[in-house]
Amino acid sequence: MEEITIKVKGMVCGGCENRVKNALSTIEGIKEVEANHEIGEVKVKAEGVAQNIMEEKIEDIGFEVEK
């Protein structure tokens, strides 16, 4: 299992964290998601999921991924 950290701009509250967690949880292969709006990070534990797929999902729901 791989752990990936993604920097995300635009999360301002717990509701934003939940939106990101729920969206990423729909991707097959993602096992665990932790989001922290205070530091603008999402940590994902996944098997066989490319990081760009996760980043696209985050951007699809209205947040910006720092590259």
pTM: 0.95
Contact between 45 and 2 under an 8 Å Cβ cutoff? The reply is: yes
Give the ranges where the chain is alpha helix by DSSP (H).
Answer: 14-25, 51-60
pLDDT of the chain along its 67 residues, tens only?
Answer: 999 999 999 999 999 999 999 999 999 999 999 999 999 999 999 999 999 999 999 999 999 999 8
Q: Would you say the C-alpha torsion 18, 23, 26, 32 has a positive or negative sign?
A: negative
pLDDT score for 67: 84
Q: Domain 2-61 falls in which CATH fold?
A: Alpha-Beta Plaits (3.30.70)
Q: What is the DSSP letter of 51?
A: H
pLDDT score for 40: 98
Where do the domains of the chain lie? Answer: 2-61
